[in-house]
Chains A and B, each alone.
Chain A
Amino acid sequence: MQIKSRISNNTLYVLICGELDEHSANYTKMTLDELFLKPNFQKIVIDLSELSFMDSTGIGVLIGRYKKMKDKNIPIYICNPSSHAEKIFKMTGLYEIMPKIV
């Protein structure tokens, strides 16, 4: 699991690489929370193009981050999910709180 980030046009872009499961969940939570403390962005885009596997643990991780950012009025968007991740997102209604963008 590796997480890369950059800030551009008031947007924090986060690229999650690898497998997101129970084993990598705590690292992912901690890394994202640390990145989300950075200044100078008004929205977050999570790019999943390099995510090779995810189970429902990933949904818990994402919903947890959504709750934290909701208090700060900072929206989170998802981009480039695999068809498999998309199945889980649709099943759980995640896109209702973290819309997919192209």
Chain B
Amino acid sequence: MKYSNFMEVTFKALSINEGFARVCVASFCVQLNPSVDEITDIKTAVSEAVTNCVVHAYPTMAKGDITLRCELEDDVISITVTDKGVGIKDIEKAREPFYTSKPSEERSGMGFTVMESFMDSVDVISNSFGTTVKMTKKIVNAMSEVGC
């Protein structure tokens, strides 16, 4: 491994922080010189993961935290989005295209499908103490500046 770097940020599970999370990850990933398409794919996948936390993790009024961690190892970006919410009861079902646990709210149920399409891998770990979504993507023409 020639190059590694990471950042981590924790924020409240509010929808207004979705844009913040997208910009945060995009700004951090710029050091690998990704294409505009790659950055947009990453921003969208992060937006989907954070939206899931905002909408599903904390069903009561007291909104908890979301931790967004981004690690770079050579030309691979790994992103984890973690909440301490109620967890996903059936992960397999949740990952099915068009499945939504809230059909009355006009939700597309395509969040995980979008993450899977735009990233190279998506793993979900969930229990009654929270959920972590880990996604990776290789940047095709990465040009990392080896840190000082």
Most chain B Cβ neighbours within 10 Å, of A19, A29, A57, A83: A57
Residues of chain B within 8 A of A22, CB atoms compared = 15, 18, 51, 54-55
C-alpha gap A87/B36 in the complex (Å): 14
**Which of A19, A21, A56 meets B110, CB within 8 Å?**
A56
Count how many chain B residues have C-beta atoms less than 8 Å from C-beta atoms of the other chain. 24
B67 within 8 A of A: no
B84 within 8 A of A: no
Closest to A65 in B: B106
The main secondary structure of chain B at its interface with chain A is helix
- B106 engages A63 (CB within 8 Å): yes
Answer whether A92 and B110 are a contact pair too, CB < 8 Å, given A21-B19, A23-B18, A55-B48: yes
Bits for A9-28, please: 1 = Cβ < 8 Å to B, else 0.
Answer: 00000000001011100000
C-alpha gap A51/B140 in the complex (Å): 26
B53 CB to nearest A CB, Å: 10
The main secondary structure of chain A at its interface with chain B is helix
7 shortest interchain CB distances as A-B pairs? A64-B106, A23-B15, A59-B108, A56-B110, A60-B108, A55-B47, A22-B15
**B residues within 8 Å of A by Cβ?**
15-16, 18-19, 22, 37, 40-41, 43-44, 47-48, 51, 54-55, 105-108, 110-111, 113-114, 117
